[in-house]
Amino acid sequence: MKKVERINVIMRYINNRAHFTISEIMREFDISRSTAMRDIREIESMGMPLVSEVGRDGGYFVMHNSVLPEVRFTDNEVKALFIAFMATRNLQLPYLKSRQSLAEKLLSLISEQQQDTLVLLNQILLFEGTNPYNPDILDLSDLPHPMLDKLIQTFLLDRYLLITIEEKVKKPHPIYLLQLYREKSHWHIEGFNLDDEKKQIFSVDHLTDVEPYPNRKRKSEQEILDKLKKQEEVINLVIELGPKAIAQFKKYHPKNVSLSYTNPYHSTGVLKTFIDVTKREEVKETANWIMFLGEDISIRVVPEEVLDVLKGRMGLFFNKRDE
């Protein structure tokens, strides 16, 4: 890390702490004592109001009610921020309107030369999923489901939720929220249903209302995690992957599937997961995804239901090729 970048990071580090020592700075940033002392003196000379404390447990703290120096971004930090914005366009992300105002504020802080650089990057860089005909950084053409922001605001206060889904009979579901995730351009809620005491997936697209769960007699988080652990499914799909299949895996993989590398070069790996064969749609999706991985795989364990779909798909493929 260059000196200017390191000093900027150290300033943010110490500004977020009531008290710090030279030893902590040395350990956190992997620098020598003399370098740490020089950096602290330079930060003081820039106007950060540091007060030193003597004694065995001495150190430094930032003087309260003092104006801190403005944060400055390096050229590479500015590029990193805006490339992150560019890469996430058209992904229906939450807080999209806030991202627009954030981008506008950042643009107002940087120089004209830096702005010109971003314009050039915006013209040349395209990412998967980005609409090339509407590539404006500040564009809000792909707003997420309107309930997504409310859902996030609610679970930040309380993970015990009462959610209502579009169904024939509108019945609120009491859940403990485990995860909120995006898969195949759609947002999903993974929650522990407090009535059925089972893990369940809900689509945010079908969400009509969300509010904190009012019942005070709740299962504790530890009780829920213990129940989930006991309900863990038995692995019934094991596949070994070569480098080409790993490249496909990185492009897309279902949320519940993880890959363990089997050599230090990350060129081979093995995935293990559970497929619920009682769900016909999940069986078909799994078969489709295995075919998506390509030929650079070796299937070690697979449910008969998935294998039957694969055989049918492969038979259809070969019949079409022979015609």
In this predicted structure, what is the pLDDT of residue 245? 95
pLDDT of 56 strictly over 50: yes
Give the whole-number percent of the chain exceeding pLDDT 70. Answer: 89
| Residue bearing the bigger pLDDT, 22 or 70 | 22
Q: What is the pLDDT of residues 145-167, one digit of tens each?
A: 889 999 999 999 999 999 999 87
Does residue 249 or residue 322 have the better pLDDT?
249
Q: What is the pLDDT of residue 57?
A: 55
Angstrom distance (rounded) from CA 243 to CA 254: 19
pLDDT of residue 234: 86
What is the distance between the alpha carbons of residues 115 and 24, in angstroms, rounded to a whole number? 37
Instruction: Domain 3-62: give its CATH code.
Output: 1.10.10.10
Do 106 and 149 contact (CB within 8 A), yes or no? Answer: no
Give the pLDDT confidence score for residue 115 in this predicted structure: 87
Residue 65: pLDDT over 80: no
pLDDT of residue 275: 92
CATH of domain 147-230: 2.30.30.520
pLDDT at 49 (0 to 100) = 76
Dihedral of the alpha carbons of 16, 22, 25, 28, in degrees to the nearest 10: -120
pLDDT band at 114, cuts 50/70/90?
Answer: confident
Q: 86 versus 244: which is more confidently predicted?
A: 244
pLDDT digits 0-9 by tens, 301-317: 999 999 999 988 776 44
pLDDT tier at 321, thresholds 50, 70, 90: very low
Q: Using an 8 Å Cβ cutoff, are 69 and 8 in contact?
A: no
Q: pLDDT class for 203, splitting at 50, 70, 90?
A: very high
Please tell me which residue, 3 or 321, carries the higher pLDDT value: 3
Residue 148: count of CB within 10 angstroms of its CB:
22
Query: Whole-angstrom Cα distance, residue 99 to residue 95?
Result: 6
Only one residue has tokens 């030279």, namely 22
Query: What is the band of 318 on the pLDDT scale with cuts at 50, 70, 90?
Result: very low
What whole-number distance in Å separates Cα of residue 221 and Cα of residue 176? Answer: 8
**Mean pLDDT along residues 291-299:** 94
- Alpha-carbon torsion (238, 243, 244, 248), positive or negative: positive
pLDDT computed for residue 178 by the predictor: 95
67: pLDDT confidence band, cut at 50, 70 and 90? low
Report the predicted TM-score, pTM, of the whole model to 2 decimal places.
0.65
In the predicted structure, residue 323 carries a pLDDT above the cut 90: no
Each residue's pLDDT tens digit, 219-233: 899 999 999 888 877
Higher-confidence position of 285 and 127: 285
Which residue would you say has higher pLDDT here, 104 or 283?
283
Q: Look over the chain and give the mean of its residue pLDDT values, rounded to a whole number.
A: 84
Identify the CA nearest to 130 among candidates 91, 100, 99: 91
| Domain boundaries of the chain, sorted by first residue | 3-62, 73-144, 147-230, 237-322
**pLDDT greater than 50 at residue 240:** yes
- Laid out side by side, the sheet with 297-301 consists of 258-261, 269-273, 237-241, 297-301
User: Over the Cα atoms of the chain, what is R_g?
Assistant: 26
